[in-house]
């Protein structure tokens, strides 16, 4: 999970949102987005391995769900979701975020 947060989303934050501190790095941001897209398949596989009404560790909301939900919503806010080449994985992640929000 921290891989998704630190190796993709925060790279965008550093080099787009905080470019006055870290400088622009469009190649790094593009690579971070591609990394997010690869990790989205892993996220979707984990979520699909559970019943639709369960969270990552079972029926009860856990801290890991809050972190993953944050990452999914952050990616969506950057227009990194949905991923055109991964519509099913994107939908799985967005449905999960909606369940968290509803909870």
CA–CA distance, 94 with 68 (Å, rounded to integer):
11
Q: How many Å is the Cα radius of gyration of the chain? A: 14
pLDDT of residue 52: 82
Number of domains composing the chain: 1
Q: Is the pLDDT of residue 2 over 80?
A: no
CATH number of the domain to which 19 belongs: 1.20.1050
pLDDT in tens, 3-53: 788 889 999 999 999 999 999 999 999 999 999 999 999 999 999 999 888
CA–CA distance, 49 with 47 (Å, rounded to integer):
5
Cα–Cα separations (whole angstroms), residue 80 to 34, 45, 54, 72: 9, 18, 25, 9
Q: Which residues span the domain enclosing 58?
A: 2-102
Given pLDDT bands bounded at 50, 70 and 90, which one contains residue 60? very high
């Amino acid at each position: 999970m921290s891989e998704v947060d630190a190796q993709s989303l925060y790279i965008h934050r550093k080099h787009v949102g905080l470019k006055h501190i870290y400088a622009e790095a469009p190649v790094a941001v593009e690579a971070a987005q591609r990394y997010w897209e690869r990790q989205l398949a892993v996220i979707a596989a984990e979520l699909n391995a559970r019943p639709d009404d369960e969270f990552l560790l079972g029926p009860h909301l856990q801290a890991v769900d809050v972190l993953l939900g944050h990452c999914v919503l952050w990616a969506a806010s950057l227009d990194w979701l949905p991923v055109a080449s991964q519509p099913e994985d994107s939908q799985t992640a967005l449905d999960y975020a909606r369940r968290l929000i509803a909870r």
